[in-house]
């Protein structure tokens, strides 16, 4: 047994990636997730509109984070701010009553806001102060159903899984079996091979996406109130990013085991830090920035926005542009690296035929 243990440690010592996965990653994840894994929301972005906006805003303290006060605005302005994600709470003041519109897709923020309004009312009652009663009205997800929020996010997670893990496995299998060398010698252009490998996974992921959305709607009653084309555009851009990550992972992996390890390193942080489970706004500021470099965060913004809030394309240009930028950078890098595997003699501008011409000349 001792011989086996020694052999295993020797192998582990040489497999630095596994060693990192076993030692460094858990410590790193614990620290990062420790700061990120919070359900308590300390800031709820709020807009106050209507004739009494200034007066009501004066009564709103933490967790309400006032981003806009507009006495001339009405319910439609508040709703549009909720729809485009600028605010989670829209307080609409009238002459006699005050309505707090809340974005039901922000489960924990809404719970924090409701609780704060209750506390305000109780405190006012205890002090005998005259604080106007606020009626809460939850939009987009009136019953705060968890599955309505999770399923749009899960579509992204599944696209991430297929795009990164399955694609990298498919490409690494070619390298592991040596067939990638044959492909490189066959009369394919590098682009033919790269897109020939990517397109099947793109189509597969698209089919999966449709299936997940339909199943989510049928089984869990998740609404799809927005524009399908906007959703499809967001999904396509996100898929291109994930496919690019898959190709990148494959270019630095020699076998399928390594590619699974690396893909896990890409996927796990996205599950926990992209706002799928824990709200980005509740994360400690030190780790919050991580969410903003993860593509899943932007796809979740798009999928929740389109499916639940009918957020229009014009209000989603931010996440769409970020995803498009990420797609260009990640896919571009991936293609360059993969191309190097497929056309090594073409580097530094020398083609295979140029080798020959050099001699002929």
Partner 1 sequence: MTWGLEDASVVFGSRTALDHLTLPVEPSTVSICVGGDGAGKSTLLRAIVGLVRLSSGAARRPQKKDIGYIPATAGLYIDLTVDENVAFCAGAYGVRGRELTCRSTEMLERIGLADARTRLGGQLSGGMQRKLAVGMALLHRPAMLVLDEPTTGVDPVSRAELWRLISGAAAEGSAVVVATTYVDEAHRASTVVLLEQGRSIAVGSPSDIIAAVPGTLGVVESTEQPQGLSWRRGKTWRVWAPSLDLPPGAESLQPDFEDAVMIAALADEQKIEIDGCAC
Q: Given the rule CB under 8 A, which residues bind partner 1?
A: 177-179, 181-182, 184-188, 343-345, 347-348, 350, 352-353, 355-356, 358-360
Between 185 and 218, CB nearer to partner 1: 185
Q: How many residues does the chain have?
A: 361
Between 191 and 289, CB nearer to partner 1: 191
CB of 341 to partner 1, least distance (A): 10
Query: Which tokens in the block code for residue 30?
Result: 């614990």
Please give the biggest Cα pair distance in the chain: 99
Between 163 and 190, CB nearer to partner 1: 190
What is the Cα–Cα distance from 187 to 198, expressed in whole angstroms? 18
CB of 162 to partner 1, least distance (A): 19
Region of residue 262 (phi > 0: left; psi between -120 and 50: alpha; otherwise: beta): alpha
Measured over the CA atoms of residue 147, residue 139, residue 302 and residue 208, the dihedral's sign is positive
Between 76 and 179, CB nearer to partner 1: 179
Between 11 and 345, CB nearer to partner 1: 345
- Cα torsion for 249, 250, 254, 255, to the nearest 10°? 100
Between 188 and 289, CB nearer to partner 1: 188
Strands 64-70 and 89-93: unpaired
217-232: b (≥16 Cβ within 10 Å) or e: eeeeebebebeeebbe
Among all chains, which residue has been given the structure tokens 């809030």?
A: 309
CB of 181 to partner 1, least distance (A): 5
CB of 361 to partner 1, least distance (A): 10
CB of 185 to partner 1, least distance (A): 4
CB of 194 to partner 1, least distance (A): 15
What is the Cα–Cα distance from 189 to 89, expressed in whole angstroms? 54
Q: Classify residue 131 by its DSSP letter.
A: P
CB of 347 to partner 1, least distance (A): 6
Between 16 and 348, CB nearer to partner 1: 348
Query: Which tokens in the block code for residue 33?
Result: 């997730």
């Amino acid at each position: 047994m001792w011989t086996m243990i020694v052999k295993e440690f020797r192998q582990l010592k040489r497999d630095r990636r596994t060693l990192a996965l076993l030692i460094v990653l858990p410590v790193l994840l614990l620290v990062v997730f420790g700061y990120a894994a919070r359900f308590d929301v300390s800031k709820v972005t709020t807009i106050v509109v209507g004739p009494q906006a200034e007066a009501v805003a004066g009564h709103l303290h933490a967790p309400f984070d006032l981003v806009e006060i507009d006495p001339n605005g009405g319910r439609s302005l508040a709703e549009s701010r909720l729809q485009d994600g600028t605010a989670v709470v829209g307080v609409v003041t009238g002459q006699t009553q005050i309505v707090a519109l809340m974005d039901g897709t922000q489960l924990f923020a809404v719970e924090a806001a409701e609780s704060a309004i209750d506390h305000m009312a109780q405190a006012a009652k205890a002090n005998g102060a005259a604080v106007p009663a606020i009626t809460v009205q939850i939009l987009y997800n009136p019953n705060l159903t968890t599955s309505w929020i999770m399923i749009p996010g899960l579509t992204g997670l599944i696209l991430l899984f297929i795009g990164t893990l399955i694609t990298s496995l498919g490409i690494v299998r070619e390298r592991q079996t040596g067939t990638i060398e044959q492909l490189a010698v066959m009369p394919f252009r590098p682009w033919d091979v790269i897109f020939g490998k990517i397109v099947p996974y793109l189509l597969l992921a698209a089919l999966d996406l449709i299936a997940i959305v339909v199943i989510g709607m049928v089984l869990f009653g998740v609404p799809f109130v927005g524009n399908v084309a906007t959703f499809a555009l967001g999904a396509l851009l996100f898929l291109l990013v994930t496919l690019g990550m898959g190709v990148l992972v494959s270019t630095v992996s020699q076998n399928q085991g390594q590619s699974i390890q690396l893909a896990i390193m890409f996927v796990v942080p996205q599950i926990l830090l992209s706002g799928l489970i824990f709200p980005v706004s509740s994360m400690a500021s030190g780790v919050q920035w991580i969410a903003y470099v993860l593509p899943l965060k932007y796809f979740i913004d798009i999928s929740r926005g389109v499916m639940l809030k009918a957020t229009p394309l014009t209000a989603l240009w931010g996440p769409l542009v970020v995803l498009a930028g990420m797609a260009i950078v990640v896919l571009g890098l991936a293609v360059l690296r993969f191309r190097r595997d497929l056309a090594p003699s073409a580097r530094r501008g020398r083609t295979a035929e140029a080798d020959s011409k050099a001699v002929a000349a």
